[in-house]
Structure 1
Amino acid sequence: MSISTPYPGVYVTEVPSGNRTVTGVATSITAFVGTARRGPLDTPVRIGSFTDFERAFGGLVRSSGLGYAVRDFYLNGGGPAYVVRVARQGDADPTHDAAAAQLVVGDVTLEAHGPGEWANDLVGVVTHPATADAADIGAAQGVDPDDLFTLTLSLGEETEVYRNVTVGDGPARLANLLESSRLVRQASASSTSAPGEDTYTVATGDEGTDGAAVEPDDYTDDGRGFHALDTVDLVNIVVLPPPTPSGSLHDSVWPLAAQYAASRRAFLVVDPKPGQTVEGFAAWADGLGVTGEVARNAAVYFPRVRHADPLRGGQVDTFAPGGAVAGVYARTDAARGVWKAPAGLEAGLTGVVALESTLTNDQNGQLNPAGYNALRTFRDAGSVVWGARTLRGADVLSDDYKYVPVRRLALFLEESLYRGTQWVVFEPNDEPLWSQIRLGVGAFMQDLFRRGAFQGTSARDAFFVRCDGETTSQYDIDRGVVNIQVGFAPLKPAEFVIVSIQQKTAAAR
């Protein structure tokens, strides 16, 4: 930076340090994709608690496994999450598709915010302000006083009131205000006049329908199902609860979901089918089709879990384990870090009273070498996650990403470095840039080393960061390429603890 020096004296200026920090991304933002009673369709909705889920999607219903999975997630320590509701759409027979209820209020058609029968009892009440009040309000808003009205929407105990609104343009335009409604959106309006004072209900023929049972394409089509998550900035864990608590997802969905998770640097939790034996589960998992490198981004857990069902007076029923396992992931990340295996005696499944089947050590020994994770019950610890292998974790594969924490740590590093080096684009590609990269990335890796993310007694043993004339040749520079090499020594979980006992004789010293 040049400084103008018009007179003799001392000039002071501030010079930027040039240090660019890399910040670690979140590790346990979980996406749930499944059926729900209500809510927007194929639209990610961010939630922070089960109460948020109840507000947006109607809570638990016996016809859907989604609510139970979200509930288990928060019982086990879950945090920020996104929920995508799916329903039958695009069927050859349109009567099979889910449809939204419509409420006609004068010349305005309001459509329920999401398809389903949930809005069929919707009621809208229109009232007009007093003439004197309307004149003052109309003058303040710059609209015709005759166009003002108040709309009260009611559905059960839910009530929304929109006061002194207009159908036409204005500061209190109804269509704009309804964008924040949990009940309806404005579908159309044939005039800008205020509707007449009256009570309006959903007419026969305008009712919403839940549609037929969901099909695989409701999860896998572009822009729908888990592809709706394309609009979400960051997702770490993907859970696909079964369409019904006692059902299971169609097998063809899992390989596509694993591919999608890999493309987003996310991790997929796979649920087993209900009622499987150990042998039946192993045969099913072998033929699931989640293979190759994408299998590094997925893990399956067996068996299903049993816990009280609030909708059945606390009776114990069987549910998919994915939501509870994702909650254990989030809890472990918060307490220990993403490099700690979400398994062991401290990985207890909160709220779970039993498992669908009790595994013996020998049965566990059949699953673990094949890369399948067991849920076990121990007398003092209760039900716990007792496995930490990815679907590439079979012993015969000898994959670098055999273990869940190693893979999730690598995904964390990739995403953090991807975001933390965006500033490099269009910078002069020479040693000053390379030095800044080494400094920023090295400081990030050093911090993780101090927190116990890598093995090794020194930073030299734990990781390396290379960006210099050796990694980036003149040919690379001419093509506008800068190469950064980052290596790390992961901590692998101790699966087998071998204790050797030797008898000491009295004469031995």
Structure 2
Amino acid sequence: MAGAYKTPGVYIVEKNAFPNSVVEVATAVPAFIGYTEKADNKGTSLADKPWRITSMSEFHEYYGYRPKDLFDITDLPAKEEGKPTPVSDFKIGKSEYVLAEKDPRYFLYYSMMLFFKNGGGACYIVSVGTYGQSIEKPKLAGGIDKLLKEQEPTMVVIPDAVSLAEADCIALQQASLMHCGSQMKNRFSILDVYNGYRDRKDPAAGDCIAKFRNALGTNFLNFGAAYYPWIDTSIVQTSDLDYNNLTDVAKFKEILTAEVNQSPLAQDKKDSILAVIAKVGVEGDPSKPDYLSHEELHKTLFVVSPGYGNILLTIKKKLNLLPPSGAMAGIYTLVDNSRGVWKAPANVSLNEVVAPAVNVTHDEQEDLNVTTSGKSINAIRPFIGEGTLVWGARTLDGNSLDWRYINVRRTMIMLEESVRLASKAFVFEPNVSGTWVTMKSMISNFLNGIWKRGGLAGASPEDAFSVHVGLGETMTPEDILEGIMRITVLVALSRPAEFIEITFQQQMQKS
């Protein structure tokens, strides 16, 4: 300023020619919470610490590999009066058997595989424990609290929640919704339906959807979405498994021995196969010519014993049954990056998915999508010639005209967070018309760019949005005396064409 000049000379004064701009925040950065093999960064512990990764190779580096899933083999129990008929997992000869997973099922690793296979990118991992530990609600809930200080995550996914007891799973999902809708207000929760691999008419477990809706409550439903059913995937391959996935070696050898003895093979061939089976679980002498390493023994058993192949296929099928939240986080990321957050994450095929665990029909989806309780559940359905598609785009607040659709809720989160962060530069600036005009121009320019990309509905910018600020318009003299600047932003968000009605009508012949 001229009053500051006291020595004669030439002074250069630079002035900014352009106003501040709003930078669009990232919309597809999920945070996964669960159990891992390890949590280590070259000697530094990553336990209970949100850590950003961008690929599965980085996950392997910091958090290790898949869990060692163990299974018990038992004979098929006899039918009891008044109870459902037991179902066997596999059959060898005339005998039927059941395979039951022994330890808690850790879903995080497999969900990460699904996430990256379906278009996932940058994400955060919160490891709350390691394999071998019991899955506990307080630990997983503590993982949610660790995200309070992280600004970047925009989604919360907890695949291991479904390994808890049903009441604990629901309580954890309620905590996730509260974190997104009350504490942070800038992220979205993707939920799995407990026992979502079962049919709704399953007599043993009851209606899993009704139980989910009844227990979830009514708070912050527009900050979350749920998907049904679970999905049969191809993440786990037979080559990833062997007899070390079984807990009872003696029972395993007994089953294969019975299979060989019942086979029509010549006795000398039976004896050679039985000799191979006898080596399972017994450490041999590497110097002897008949010694078989673990890998050689596994390959030999797979060739000579059909029963062994059946056991591994059954284990593979059970491990490939996964909750869909990890895949959906990948779909959200894929759609956001290719079309924008304003495009509904639906009518998109799922990769590495063989089929849904339950085939939901057109009529059965009616109650999932539209219900009196308003808690819409998005269906995952198979379509001939198209594969497995996500066939729903509703939040859990399905009765709300404002927040019925996932893309509407997430688009508003993006707009609010982008403008909020850009507006921090004007905190403590003079609350006068010059500041108001600058902020109005900044927000309008940002929204105009979103409209041009198809994020807002309207034939012109005036139809798509409007920004209001000023004394007598959004503020009173008392507001200014109290240091409050009020800005009102109106936006017309695009909504998906969920129902398309095409009318056909006959007309009179004209010639």
State the TM-score, normalizing by the size of structure 1. Answer: 0.70
Q: Which amino acid aligns with 2:322?
A: F
Of the three residues 48, 51, 55, the one matched with 1:49 is 55
Partner residue, 2:211: 284
Deviation at 1:230, TM superposition (A): 2.1
- Unaligned 5+ segments in structure 1 are 88-114, 117-209
1:60 aligns with 2:66: yes
Q: Which amino acid aligns with 1:448?
A: I
1:368-401 deviation per Cα after TM superposition (whole angstroms, max 9, x unaligned): 11311100111121011110000101xxx33410
Partner residue, 1:252: 171
Partner residue, 1:14: 14
CA distance in structure 2 between the partners assigned to 1:309 and 1:28 by the alignment:
23
Q: Which amino acid aligns with 2:147?
A: L
1:217 aligns with 2:138: yes
CA distance in structure 1 between the partners assigned to 2:468 and 2:29 by the alignment:
30
CA distance in structure 2 between the partners assigned to 1:218 and 1:488 by the alignment:
40
Deviation at 1:246, TM superposition (A): 11
Contact kept in structure 1, 2:157 and 2:325, CA below 8 Å: yes
Partner residue, 1:364: 365
Partner residue, 1:435: 437
Of the three residues 473, 476, 493, the one matched with 1:473 is 476
Tell me the percent identity: 31
Partner-residue secondary structure (3-state), 1:83: strand
Q: How many residues align?
A: 377
1:487 aligns with 2:490: yes
CA distance in structure 2 between the partners assigned to 1:244 and 1:299 by the alignment:
15
Contact kept in structure 2, 1:60 and 1:311, CA below 8 Å: no
Deviation at 1:311, TM superposition (A): 5.8
CA distance in structure 1 between the partners assigned to 2:475 and 2:148 by the alignment:
33
Deviation at 1:289, TM superposition (A): 2.0
Contact kept in structure 2, 1:307 and 1:354, CA below 8 Å: yes
Distance 1:258 1:71, change over 3 A: same
CA distance in structure 2 between the partners assigned to 1:244 and 1:442 by the alignment:
44
Deviation at 1:319, TM superposition (A): 0.4
Contact kept in structure 2, 1:245 and 1:319, CA below 8 Å: no
Partner residue, 1:349: 350
Contact kept in structure 1, 2:170 and 2:212, CA below 8 Å: no
Deviation at 1:215, TM superposition (A): 2.1
Contact kept in structure 1, 2:232 and 2:322, CA below 8 Å: yes
| Residue pairs, 1:96-175, within 5 angstroms | none
State the TM-score, normalizing by the size of structure 2. Answer: 0.70
Contact kept in structure 1, 2:378 and 2:392, CA below 8 Å: yes
Partner residue, 1:267: 188
Q: Which amino acid aligns with 2:363?
A: D
Partner-residue secondary structure (3-state), 1:250: helix
Partner residue, 1:238: 156
Partner-residue secondary structure (3-state), 1:84: strand
1:242-286 deviation per Cα after TM superposition (whole angstroms, max 9, x unaligned): 268799772211111110022221100010123332361320221
Contact kept in structure 2, 1:297 and 1:390, CA below 8 Å: yes
Of the three residues 76, 86, 109, the one matched with 2:128 is 86
CA distance in structure 1 between the partners assigned to 2:504 and 2:223 by the alignment:
39
Partner-residue secondary structure (3-state), 1:326: helix
Partner residue, 2:27: 27
Deviation at 1:18, TM superposition (A): 5.6
Partner-residue secondary structure (3-state), 2:226: strand
Contact kept in structure 1, 2:344 and 2:407, CA below 8 Å: yes
Partner residue, 1:407: 409
Partner residue, 2:381: 376
CA distance in structure 2 between the partners assigned to 1:241 and 1:247 by the alignment:
14
CA distance in structure 1 between the partners assigned to 2:126 and 2:328 by the alignment:
19
Contact kept in structure 1, 2:34 and 2:127, CA below 8 Å: yes
Deviation at 1:485, TM superposition (A): 0.8
Q: Which amino acid aligns with 1:431?
A: S
CA distance in structure 1 between the partners assigned to 2:226 and 2:324 by the alignment:
10
Deviation at 1:54, TM superposition (A): 1.2
1:24-71 deviation per Cα after TM superposition (whole angstroms, max 9, x unaligned): 100000100011121132111111011111111112223410001111
Partner-residue secondary structure (3-state), 1:242: helix
Partner-residue secondary structure (3-state), 2:215: coil
Q: Which amino acid aligns with 2:57?
A: T
1:298-356 deviation per Cα after TM superposition (whole angstroms, max 9, x unaligned): 00000001112436437343100000011000000001000000001xx1101101110
CA distance in structure 1 between the partners assigned to 2:482 and 2:503 by the alignment:
59
Contact kept in structure 2, 1:296 and 1:391, CA below 8 Å: yes
Bigger mean CA offset, 23-32 vs 469-478: 469-478
Distance 1:51 1:11, change over 3 A: closer
Q: Which amino acid aligns with 1:305?
A: I
CA distance in structure 1 between the partners assigned to 2:387 and 2:52 by the alignment:
32
Contact kept in structure 1, 2:135 and 2:164, CA below 8 Å: no
Partner-residue secondary structure (3-state), 1:86: strand
Of the three residues 482, 498, 501, the one matched with 2:504 is 501
Bigger mean CA offset, 276-285 vs 422-431: 276-285
CA distance in structure 2 between the partners assigned to 1:54 and 1:246 by the alignment:
25
Q: Which amino acid aligns with 2:146?
A: A
Q: Which amino acid aligns with 1:82?
A: Y
- Unaligned 5+ segments in structure 2 are 40-45, 70-104, 202-206, 241-315
Partner-residue secondary structure (3-state), 1:67: helix
Contact kept in structure 1, 2:155 and 2:189, CA below 8 Å: yes
Distance 1:308 1:18, change over 3 A: closer
1:166-189 deviation per Cα after TM superposition (whole angstroms, max 9, x unaligned): xxxxxxxxxxxxxxxxxxxxxxxx
Distance 1:13 1:25, change over 3 A: same
Q: Which amino acid aligns with 2:193?
A: P
Q: Which amino acid aligns with 1:16?
A: N
Partner-residue secondary structure (3-state), 1:71: helix
CA distance in structure 1 between the partners assigned to 2:20 and 2:488 by the alignment:
17
Contact kept in structure 1, 2:162 and 2:194, CA below 8 Å: no
Contact kept in structure 2, 1:239 and 1:322, CA below 8 Å: yes
Contact kept in structure 1, 2:393 and 2:405, CA below 8 Å: yes
Contact kept in structure 2, 1:258 and 1:290, CA below 8 Å: no
Partner-residue secondary structure (3-state), 1:313: helix
Distance 1:12 1:244, change over 3 A: closer
Distance 1:243 1:15, change over 3 A: closer
Partner-residue secondary structure (3-state), 1:31: strand
CA distance in structure 1 between the partners assigned to 2:163 and 2:111 by the alignment:
9
Q: Which amino acid aligns with 2:385?
A: D
CA distance in structure 2 between the partners assigned to 1:481 and 1:245 by the alignment:
48
Of the three residues 384, 388, 394, the one matched with 1:389 is 394
